[in-house]
Chain A
Amino acid sequence: MSVSQPITVTVNGDRKTAEVEPRLLLVHFLRETLRLTGTHIGCDTTHCGACTVLVEGVPVKSCTMLAVQADGQQVTTVEALAAGGTLHPIQAAFKQEHGLQCGFCTPGMMLTSIALLQEKPDPTDEDIRWALSGNICRCTGYMNIVKAVRSAAAQMKAAAAVPAATAAARS
């Protein structure tokens, strides 16, 4: 027996309420209940990282978490990145540096990268490779993904430096 229960999850800033069966996986809640199909299912066995989303800012394999476990939490999916139609620096960098081919792994790659950059705004290549070691790509050979993350880091640092520089110029 399994009774549906109400959950409220803040997905990309919007509060979403739904009745779900406890066995519903977070990835299915996102893709099927909310129709946010940017989160992909690759292996469905916790190996590939294609389904990675951020839960409270932390990368999680959404095929290996129950939707009910996300009740009351903040979830970020790839759909949040191009807010207002402008590409997030990580998206711009993946595009610019050819960090994707088929694009299947890309949402997970980008979300894991964003969490890395939050923690380490200036990562070494080794940091990037290490952080992405749970995300599998079958196309690119990874070189351009690492390049893209490095380039996004530089862009984001430059962008963050602008207000600081403006403030410094004013004082």
Chain B
Amino acid sequence: MLPAPFEYHAPNTMDEALGLLDELGEDAKVLAGGQSLIPLLKLRFASPAHLVDINKIKDLDFLEERDGMLRVGPLFRHKSAERSSLLASRYQVMADAAPQIADPIIRNRGTIAGSVAHADPSGDWGTVLLALDADLVLRSRSATRTVKAREFFSGPFSTALQPTEILSEIRIPAARPQTGGAYLKLERKVGDFATVAVAVHLQMEDGKVGSAGIGLTAVGPQNIKAGQAEAALRGASLDDTTIKEAAALAAEAAEPTADQRGSVEYKRNVVRVFTERGLKRAYERARGGG
């Protein structure tokens, strides 16, 4: 399979890349890891006239905690997330998700930012960022704006990104003590997209839930933030009743459709079970265990 013809640009700086996007508008697509875009080009589901490859731009492959934020650069790849000791110790929902994305060879190239920009409702990173209450920095030649993850996704494969913008940084509130997370994913086989997955991020304060983030994958037209479940947890102590209530609310927030991976009832039930398990695991971790 061969993509339709296009012109290829490999700028060396962000300014150059933004200039190209500004000039080319709708006719251009950003190329990051290429692990979603190149398959789409080959199937001719997309046939942009121009590709702007950002891989030659220096300093876009970063992960760092600075000024109260965890910052993720546009070329930070799944593989690096999988191997990061910082994520393993402080951002477990990310550390859990990384090795469950696609397969090891795809993870060598694919990026977190590319996944989020791609906005596949079955993609995992968007859900993780919803649970973490992340901010996305969108940069164009003339302006930089910050959009909340929960306002970023607007439907299957559609987001707040303009054709002239690059997702230039993902910002996550820095983990404080007593933070724990978990990502649970049901897949038919290793390397498959999720049948259902649930992201949980918990911040405990004096034995109570300070804040809770819950995201759902593959059970709706986009990654879903289970806001009512999050609200029910805030300020509560995490006993079995609270956990069950929150899990039921998360299951209600899911809008699954039936397909070869499972029925509506089945998927909704997996959301419930995974939310329960995810909350328990995140709580354990927030208290310094597992």
Which of B2, B41, B105 meets A52, CB within 8 Å?
B105
Given contacts A44-B1, A65-B109, contact A1 B7 (CB under 8 A): yes
B: contact size bracket = 20 to 34
A61-119 with Cβ < 8 A to chain B: 61, 63-66, 68-69, 71, 112
Q: How far is the CA of A135 from the CA of B105 in the complex (A)?
A: 8
B1-35 with Cβ < 8 A to chain A: 1-8, 10, 34-35
- Give A57 Cβ to nearest chain B Cβ, in Å: 10
Q: Is A130 within 8 A of B38, CB to CB?
A: no
A138-153 with Cβ < 8 A to chain B: none
Q: Does chain A have a CB within 8 A of B103?
A: yes
Which of B1, B6, B34, B104 meets A59, CB within 8 Å?
B104
Q: Does chain A have a CB within 8 A of B39?
A: yes
Q: Is A134 within 8 A of B191, CB to CB?
A: yes
B interface, by DSSP: helix, strand, loop or mixed?
loop
Residues of A in contact (CB 8 Å), total 33
Q: Mark B33-67, 1 if CB is under 8 A from A, else 0.
A: 01100110111000001010101000000000000
Q: Does chain A have a CB within 8 A of B228?
A: no
Given contacts A60-B109, A64-B35, A69-B55, contact A134 B7 (CB under 8 A): no
Q: Is B104 within 8 A of A65, CB to CB?
A: no
Q: Does chain B have a CB within 8 A of A3?
A: yes
**B interface, CB within 8 angstroms of A:** 1-8, 10, 34-35, 38-39, 41-43, 49, 51, 53, 55, 102-106, 108-109, 190-191
**A interface, CB within 8 angstroms of B:** 1-3, 5, 21-25, 28, 44-47, 49, 52, 58-61, 63-66, 68-69, 71, 112, 130-131, 133-135
